[in-house]
Each structure stands twice: as C-alpha cells, then as structure tokens.
Amino acid sequence: MKESFFDAKESVLDNGIRLVTVKKDTQLMTIYAAIEVGSLNEEKHEKGISHFIEHMLFKGTETRNNESLNEDIENLGGECNAYTDYISTVYSMVALGEELPESLEILSDMIINSNFPEEELEKERGVILSELKTSKDDIEDLSFRKINKLAFDKSPIRYEVLGDEKNLKSFRREDLLKYYNKYYVPNNCIISVASSYEHDEVKEVVEKYFLDWQKKELYKKPIIVEDNKCATHISYKKDIEQNTIMYLYTFHGLSKYEELVLRILNHKLGDSANSILFRELREKRGLAYDVYSNIDCSNNVKTLYIYTAVDEENVEEAIEVINKAIDDIKKEKIIFNENTLDLMKKVFKTALASTLEDVSDLCHYVLCQRLDDEHIYEFYSDMKSIENMESGHIYSIANKVLNNPTVHILKSEKSE
C-alpha cells in the first residue's frame, strides 16, 4: 500500500472548523460532521442530552420544518444518519458525488440553524424513552450498562449514552438550547469529506455554507479518567433465557505501540470466528452462540470487554474457560508462533485494505483519527510496527492489561 492510495488534505477554516478531505476515484461522496461533545462531557444532570440533541437536529430549522427537512434529505437519493458516543456527536451523509453541494447545505442548516420546535421535542422525547426501554430489554445492552456502572465510581463511562429516564423526562427546550449553543460551535467541529473532488473544491463549498457560523469561546470540563474496579457481581432479570457473562479491563497509559499489540491480541482472544474464546466456548464445547471481545482505544475511554451468553447451568464452566484462556496466554501456554503472527498480521492488513477500499469507511476512519488527534496516515507506521512484532510483545501486553477485571454475571430471576 502506498500513500498515494488516497490523497488526504486538511485545512482549518477562519471560524475554526477542521476540514479533512480524501480524494478518491469514486462516484459517491461521503460527509461526516462531528461535534466534539459526547456523554463524557455531560454533567450528571445532563446525562443523555448529547444524544437528545442529535435526534432534534432532524426535527426542523429556521427555514425548514420537520417535513420539508426530511423531504430534502430524501431527495438526495442517499443516506443520512447520526450517532452519539462517549466523545462526539456525528452526522453523516452518503450520496452521489454530484449531490455534495446540496448535502453540505442541508447539513449546515441542521447543525447551525436547528430550532428545537416544542411539539417535535415532545414527540422525540417519547421516541428516545422507547429506545431506552428497548435497550433495557436487550440483555446484551443491559449487560454493558450494568458492568460500566459497577466498574467505575466517578468516570462518566458509568453512565449510559442514552441517559436515564429521569433526565430524559426532565429536559426542557431551554436546557437543550443552552447545551447546543455551548458546544455546537465551529471551533468544536471536524468535517471529513471523501469524494472525487479536489480539496480546494470541497473547501470552497464548505466555506459557502459554514463560514457564517460564528466562532465562540469554548470550555470543556476535565474528563475523569478511572481504572475499573476489580470485583465480581451478579444481578438478576426476570424472563430471560440466557445468562450473560462480561469482563471489563481498562488500559490507560499504554504507548501507541502497546495499544497496537493489544489490538492484535484482542483479535486472537475473541474478535474473530477463529479466536481462542470462540473456538473454546462455541466450537469445542457448544456452550454459547455469542462470544466476542471488544476494544475501544478512544481517548479517555480505553476499555476491553469480553462478552458471552450461556444457559444457567453452563455459567461456571464458561467462566472457567475464559479464565483459563487468559491465564494460558499470560503464562505462554498458548503459543503465538511465527505462523500465528503472520496470520494475525494478514488479518490486520485485510481489515485495513477493506477500510481503504470503501469510501464511507475511509471517510469515517480519517474523522476518527482527527477526533483522537492522530495522524491520518498512522496506519503506515502501524504496518511497519506489525512487521516487527514478536510473540514476546503479545505475552508482555497480556500480562500488563489482562489483570483485575470487573466481572458481571446477569442471571435469570426465577418467577415464583
């Protein structure tokens, strides 16, 4: 892979917007506009407000009501979406390349001119409360929420991105507007665009629609970073067929190379259909259908989860399997030989190539790099680092990270 595989350029506009463009031979264009505010930035009484505002930006602006906004989006013939996570609120559009100007105009209107109509706010409150209830009914989502709450005392990770029912019922239009006006400022925004257009062409259109957005002074409270607490917890839920098991580790303070080694280890541990946990729990013993590990290297987050769901009579055996797999890695009983490392490197390269080939994935990748203040072409140095990676590095990082987990078991509460 050569750096000329795609052409990425960056500019900072006069009002503080950071613009990243990727020029690629494609008939499509993708836009991601990220406001750098998410659940980590919320005060306790604000939990869920970032996500609420994400929903409200689709409900009308100063010049478009809800119906006309949705109609204009639909007329693009593509897709418009959004999500909120720990560190950002992101709006995206995918359409034919020729729709770039119209897409940027609509997106700018949503981000800059949303007016939070009272009637739509009340409707959307009901939608979000339904989303929260659906999440509570999903044992996987519930398990993630439970373990985050148990693992931390002060870190905002302990709170659900969706918020809680009390807050969601209490938010007023004035609350949303205050938060929106505080954080929805151009100097808190990153826009990434992948298309066949030159950087200067994209910049000109972005400036046309976004440059009147006024820069403001921005203050963000320091984010509390906390290691997980080592403990095992059991909770109960009625009317569930499966019992879930979750492990949570944090890994603050690793170097970039160590995080790369951990990502490689995570793939072998549980992030593939040929992973250690998948083969032991599902293929060899038939204990579980779902089993995986998941890693988040975002700034101020740094979490690694292990998840599986099993029948109640298999809970203890599944825990033994997980503990033994981790212990065997740390004691070098599971061999990462040259062939294993070569395969893991190949998988990493394949995943990278897949991202680079897909214009939308590529656009999202460069956005995430900038959100974490990382270089867009960092994957080239990652590739070089992987080539020099040795099995000893994997064992070392396993012994550094896979200690003192928070463990949560969700069991079925038997009806009387």
Query: What is the C-alpha separation between 355 and 365, in angstroms, rounded?
Result: 8
For residue 154, the one-letter residue type is: K
* Tens digits of residue pLDDT in 248-278: 999 999 999 999 999 989 999 999 888 999 9
CA-based radius of gyration for the chain: 23
Q: What is the pLDDT of residues 230-241, one digit of tens each?
A: 999 999 999 899
Residue carrying the six token digits 């320091």 = 222
Mean pLDDT over the full length of the chain = 93
Q: Dmax over Cα atoms in the chain, in whole Å?
A: 69
For residue 7, what pLDDT is reported?
Answer: 86
Q: pLDDT by residue (tens digit) across 317-368? A: 999 999 999 999 999 999 887 887 888 778 878 887 888 889 999 999 999 9
Q: Which of 4-8, 170-174, 224-228 has the lowest mean pLDDT?
A: 4-8
Nearest-10 crossing angle of helices 391-401, 315-330: 130
Q: Are 148 and 175 in contact (CB under 8 A)?
A: no
Q: Which of 344, 348, 338, 325 is nearest to 402 (CA)?
A: 325
Q: How confident is the model at residue 415 (pLDDT cuts 50, 70, 90)?
A: very low
CA-to-CA distance for 21 and 84, rounded, in angstroms? Answer: 22
Token pair of 211, please? 């440059």
Token pair for 241: 């067929």
Contact 167, 48 (CB under 8 A): yes
Q: Is 373 left (phi over 0), alpha (psi -120 to 50) or beta?
A: left
Q: What is the pLDDT of residue 341?
A: 80
pLDDT at residue 2, rounded to an integer: 46
3-state secondary structure of 294: strand
Q: What DSSP line would sit under 50-108, residue for residue? A: HHHHHHHTTSBBSS-BHHHHHHHHHTTTSEEEEEE-SS-EEEEEEEEGGGHHHHHHHHH
Give the mean model confidence (pLDDT) for residues 153-179.
96
Output the pLDDT for position 1.
Answer: 43
Residue pair 228/405 in contact (Cβ under 8 Å)? The answer is: yes
Render pLDDT for 365-410 as a digit per residue (tens, 0 to 9): 999 999 999 888 888 788 888 888 888 999 999 999 999 999 999 9
Domains in the chain with CATH codes: 3-210 (3.30.830.10), 231-413 (3.30.830.10)
Contact indicator for 29, 76 with CB cutoff of 8 Å: no
User: What does the block give as tokens for 403?
Assistant: 């200690």
pLDDT digits (tens, 9 = 90+) for 5-57: 678 999 999 999 999 999 998 999 999 999 999 999 999 999 999 999 999 99
Summarize pLDDT for 189-204 with one digit per residue, the tens.
999 999 999 999 999 9
CA–CA separation, 204 vs 250, rounded Å? 43
The side-by-side arrangement of strands in the sheet containing 303-310 is 231-238, 406-413, 243-250, 303-310, 288-296
Q: Tell me the per-residue pLDDT of 288-317, one tens digit each, with 9 for 90 and over.
A: 999 999 999 999 999 999 999 999 999 999
Q: Residue 114: pLDDT above 60?
A: yes
